[in-house]
Amino acid sequence: MDQVKIRFGKNQGMVLILALWILSILAVFAGLSGIRVRQKIAMVSRLEKRDEVHYIAQTGVQLARALLTNRLADASGLNVEAMAFLFQQPEVFQKVASNNGSVQVSYLNYDSGITSPVRMFGVQDEERKLNLNTASDKELTRLLIVAAGLDEDSAEDIAHAIVDWRSEQDQQISGFYGDEYYSRLNFPYDPKKAPFEVLEEMMLVKGMNPMIFDRVRDFLTVYGDGQVNINTASEPVLQALGLSANMAGMIIAARHGSDHLPCTDDDRLFADSGASLDVGALGELDPDQLAEIDRLYQDGRFSVFSEIFHIHAEAVLATGQEKRFIDCVVQGRDGKILAWHEY
């Protein structure tokens, strides 16, 4: 009997130890499950916040599209009032409240110079920029000198490489052929031999690097027919087209009107008068200077209207924990989306 009791006591002890081990294992599993549950809850919450800020950013884009199509309904295109409203209207485009956050539509204006851009609240026309697919070697060279601060030789080399990249036929670049250069890289690739589709393609071009790209990207576009809107072009773009820094500055000053501010109701715009531009706003220029501007217009380098616009929307939740950016390019009159980049 005593032996049976001893065996029974030993069995109880083993069962107790086993039970404790099982409880310990279950506790570990419970803890791990709790961690996983908390992680899943946090992930779901983060995804919900991302969705929320995504829709807030979309609200900004749709607001800008609606205002664009409404303001450009008139076939005559942009006028002073429309430009003042669309290009600089903080009351409409700055920190628009939406659900649990806000959104703003803005861009950088370089009328005050490339070293002191001004944040404007509104949309930006693509025609104020130099078209990467139609600009000549000389125009690209001048832009790289003015906007990126390159010396003439470096600027010419990159400009030739850009033209070679988009051209169907081989062109010689500084003593050798472009195809040969790309084939000799550590990770070789073929030049596109077709128009640029996005500006970021420039990073594949001989001589281009992130610093140069960041300095010139705001002055270049891949949209439009290549004509530059003289009523919105910045000083670097005007110089790229062949005007002197002094004349480019005078054009911008004349556009700003008596208050010397861009995108206000007293701005003065160039008008299309058929074979030439109406340059009455530039009475301070001599006849030769006015003829130089008009010659660029007759050569198809200048226009006085814009059809394609860039919308940059920045959304943030009220907590500030989540942001979303959307860059959208649209046709002005019908709001058709040409490009969409969300990040």
Q: Which residues contact 301 (CB under 8 A, 6 or more apart)?
A: 226, 227, 228, 241
The CA-atom distances, in angstroms, between 221 and each of 8, 270, 343 are 88, 22, 20
Can you give the pLDDT at residue 46?
A: 61
Reply yes or no on whether the pLDDT at 161 is more than 70.
Answer: yes
Reply yes or no on whether the pLDDT at 178 is more than 70.
Answer: no
Q: Which residues contact 329 (CB under 8 A, 6 or more apart)?
A: 126, 223, 308, 309, 310, 311, 337, 338, 339, 340
Higher pLDDT pick, 64 / 12: 64
- Classify burial at 37, counting beta carbons within 10 Å of its beta carbon; exposed 0-12, middle 13-18, buried 19 or more: exposed
Residue recorded with tokens 């299309």: 272
User: Would you state the structure tokens that stand for residue 255, as one six-digit string?
Assistant: 């556009």
Q: What letter does residue 67 receive in the DSSP assignment? A: H
Q: Which residues contact 304 (CB under 8 A, 6 or more apart)?
A: 77, 229, 230, 231, 269, 270, 271, 272, 277
Contact 338, 331 (CB under 8 A): yes
d(CA 277, CA 124): 23
Give which of 131, 117, 64, 103 is closest to 262, Cα–Cα: 117
Can you give the pLDDT at residue 176?
A: 44
Q: Sign of the C-alpha dihedral, residues 154, 160, 164, 169?
A: negative
Rounded average pLDDT over 112-121? 93
Beta strand residue intervals within 22-179, DSSP E: 96-98, 101-109, 118-121, 124-125, 130-131, 172-173, 176-177
User: Would you state the structure tokens that stand for residue 61, as one six-digit string?
Assistant: 């884009």
Give the mean pLDDT of the chain.
87
Can you give the pLDDT at residue 21?
A: 77
Rounded average pLDDT over 211-224? 97
Higher pLDDT pick, 37 / 252: 252
Can you give the pLDDT at residue 11?
A: 63
Reply yes or no on whether the pLDDT at 328 is more than 50.
Answer: yes
Can you give the pLDDT at residue 337?
A: 96
Can you give the pLDDT at residue 274?
A: 73
Can you give the pLDDT at residue 201?
A: 97
Higher pLDDT pick, 66 / 43: 66
Rounded average pLDDT over 309-325? 93
* pLDDT above 70 coverage of the chain, percent: 85
Rounded average pLDDT over 128-133? 98
Task: Say if strands 130-131 and 220-221 run parallel, antiparallel, or are unpaired.
Answer: parallel
Can you give the pLDDT at residue 286?
A: 80
Can you give the pLDDT at residue 25?
A: 78
Reply yes or no on whether the pLDDT at 181 is more than 90.
Answer: no
d(CA 315, CA 321): 11
Can you give the pLDDT at residue 49?
A: 75
Instruction: Choose the weakest-confidence range: 13-22, 142-151, 239-248.
Output: 13-22
Is 340 in a helix, a strand, or coil? Answer: strand
Higher pLDDT pick, 290 / 88: 88
Reply yes or no on whether the pLDDT at 14 is more than 80.
Answer: no
Rounded average pLDDT over 145-153? 97
